[in-house]
Structure 1
Amino acid sequence: MKTGIELVLGFLIALIIYNVLHHFLVTLPNKRHQRHVRGLVDQEVNKTLTTLQDPTGQLVVGELERAKVLDEVWGRGIMVFEYRCVLQQHPGELETTQLLADALKRQARADGYVTPSGRTRLLVTDCWINQDQLSFDVVDLANRATQEYVTDLHRLDK
């Protein structure tokens, strides 16, 4: 009986130690890195949206309303962020997606936000319009997990 209690207590102590170490050695550094990347991506998205606020263009967007990290949905290490803003004028969902993606690629290239091979690190992976609300997801291809996520998305689209 005493051995059983010692085993259970030992197991609980090991579980607590594991969770504390995991929190400080894995979770917190990942959150810190994600906040840093999100800040950089937010800057690029804000600059991109500023270029799309010209009232003479096909796509006219308002101020960025909300940005959200989607790591709870896709898992640790995936650098995907959801943005929302008001649409003032748009040519349609497909054209809006293309215009937004092209503008983000241009902005990322202009700011040197590219991979070592010269491809832009920022991609619009999803874009949808609900009434006058534009929602879109942007990924930063800086790590392998995010690259695999984008590859999986392309497989699903086929």
Structure 2
Amino acid sequence: MRLFIMILVSAIIVIAIYLLIHRTMINRATLMLRRQAQAATDAAMAYALKQNLLQLPSMPESQLVADVWGKGVLAFEYTLKAKKVTELKEKDVEMALNAYAKEKHLDHLPAAAKTFVVTDWWTYEQMLHIDVAYIYNEATREYVMDLHKLNQNN
């Protein structure tokens, strides 16, 4: 009986260690993918703002859109001073983002029509907020599709 309990406890410990290592590796891979996508999106956004003749003292830093949409969603938010961006148009920014992606041969999901999608655009407290999704994986494509469904219902 003692031997059985020792084997059972050992098996539970081995499974727990395996799951911990597996989870750590998955999280690390997700973090690396997110950082690469964020760097590519930041470069594309800098290009898009420059193409739209918007001269900023420095490129705004992006923030990951909330994780409530799920792990692996590659969507980033940019915040710009609204006084400087009154002439900026959503469609122009999206076109410039995708022109950059084409020029730099950025990878994207084959099922996606575009590499980048401006998913949200709003002004709050004199700041323009722009959400940009990099359609690199299925989770991001589904996120964009869900947002389109939400917008159609409202």
- Normalised to the residue count of structure 1, the TM-score between the two structures is 0.74
Gaps of 5+ in 1: 55-59
Larger relative contact order (C-alpha < 8 A, sep ≥ 6)? 2
Q: In structure 2, what is the Cα distance between the partners aligned to 1:11 and 1:117?
A: 42
Tell me if 1:105 matches 2:98: yes
- The answer as to whether partners of 2:52 and 2:92 remain within 8 angstroms in 1 is no
> Is contact 1:126–1:138 with CA below 8 Å preserved after alignment?
yes
**Residues paired across the two proteins, number:** 149
Residue 86 of structure 2, aligned match among 81, 86, 90: 90
Q: Is the 8 A contact 2:70 2:139 kept in 1?
A: no
Any idea what the Cα deviations from partners look like across 1:37-72, whole Å, max 9, x if unmatched? 211111100111122344xxxxx7664332112362
Q: Secondary structure at the match of 1:22?
A: helix
Aligned position for 1:57? none
Q: 2: CA distance between counterparts of 1:14 and 1:65? A: 44
2:38 is matched with 38
Residue type of the alignment partner of 2:28: L
* Partner secondary structure for residue 35 of structure 1: helix
C-alpha RMSD of the superposition: 3.1
Q: What is the TM-score with the length of structure 2 in the denominator? A: 0.75
Q: Which residue of 2 aligns with 1:143?
A: 137
The residue correspondences of 1:40-119 to structure 2 (distance < 5 A) are: 40-54=40-54, 63-70=58-65, 72-87=67-82, 88-90=84-86, 96-113=89-106, 119=113
Q: Give the structure with the higher percent strand.
A: 1
